[in-house]
Amino acid sequence: MSDFKENIATFARQFVPSHRFIRTHESTLGNIHELQTELNHHSIKVLNWNIAKNNFEKTWFKDFYRILRQHQPDLICFQEVRMGVGLEQIIGFNKFSWAYAPNFIDAHHQTYSGILTAANISPLTKKAIVTKHYEPLVNTPKVSLITEYSLANQQKTLLTINSHLINFVEINKFKIQLQEIELALSTHRGPIIFSGDFNTWNRQRAIILDKAVTKLGLKQVKFATHERKKIKRFLLSPPLDYIFYRGLTEKPASAKVLDEICSSDHKPLLAEFSYVDT
């Protein structure tokens, strides 16, 4: 691992100017609309996707609108989303309420990079959790975004957390980020959806993630074997992308991996849930 980290650092010094990637002081940005006030607890369709900063590309827009037409997600969790510095809107999301948590600014392109959670309704609360440690290549942190939503005719609220876990660091730093997320989720008594790109590219990382979600009482969305094979991996590693949940019922055969989508090196994950207060 030490040789690998040294090679990454050498690459960074040679090819990435130290002033290009700037840590941002912004916590969350967002857009709110009032078209709907509650999620339909009988059907909550979730889309999770690392879009690899391609949301300025025509091919990505074509894929995104196709997904919206065909699958009509209620909740969207994206990682690696670009947003122009100084802009008040992310193109393509004008019909959604969305929250955006940037983790750095690309000074060359004058864009933020971060994670975005969008929904048909406005969040009751939103909070970003920024890692204390930095990735070596760009010397920037990773970020998770917590949002909370009302459910129709229900007293409890849905808590979502959209995460991109830290990479190219000692395993202890990966574990610390998960512990911070655990702490944030531990006090919520209602249903939870926890999704993102977890960078579980080796067995050790996957085991630590499994222990964390088990401790929180979360279940993993179960993809059929032929669907699971389509999820992004690093060589023969465990999958990198997941959707976890608690206090919800997963609708049978709803879990899909959209293999026909090619505008990112990650494939979109879809799942559908229902909620009944007990």
Q: Percent of the chain at pLDDT above 90?
A: 71
Reference 254, options 235, 240, 237, 274; nearest CA is: 274
Reference 83, options 18, 162, 17, 30; nearest CA is: 30
Residues 106/21, Cβ–Cβ less than 8 Å: yes
Which are the contacts of 182, defined by CB distance < 8 A and separation ≥ 6?
Answer: 212, 215, 216
226: its two tokens: 């032929």
Question: Could you read off the pLDDT of 113-139 as tens digits, one per residue?
Answer: 899 999 989 999 999 999 999 998 778
Q: How far is 145 from 102, CA to CA, in rounded Å?
A: 10
Beta-bridge partner residues of 81: 114
Question: Could you read off the pLDDT of 39-82 as tens digits, one per residue?
Answer: 999 999 999 999 999 999 999 999 999 999 999 999 999 999 99
Residues 167/130, Cβ–Cβ less than 8 Å: no
Structural domains of the chain, with CATH? 18-274 (3.60.10.10)
Starting at the edge strand found earlier in the chain, the sheet holding 241-246 runs 125-130, 143-149, 158-164, 192-197, 241-246, 219-220
Does residue 2 or residue 267 have the better pLDDT? 267
What band does 111 get if pLDDT is binned at 50, 70 and 90? confident
Instruction: Tell me: pLDDT of 16 over 70.
Output: no
Report the mean per-residue pLDDT for the chain: 88
Q: How far is 233 from 240, CA to CA, in rounded Å?
A: 6
- Rounded to whole angstroms, what are the CA distances from 102 to 61, 141, 240? 21, 10, 21
29: its two tokens: 């940005």
Instruction: Tell me: pLDDT of 14 over 60.
Output: no
Q: Quick check: pTM over 0.85?
A: yes
Which one-letter DSSP state was computed for residue 218? -
- Supply the pLDDT for residue 12: 45
Question: Could you read off the pLDDT of 205-223 as tens digits, one per residue?
Answer: 999 999 999 999 999 999 9
What band does 25 get if pLDDT is binned at 50, 70 and 90? low
Q: How far is 271 from 252, CA to CA, in rounded Å?
A: 9
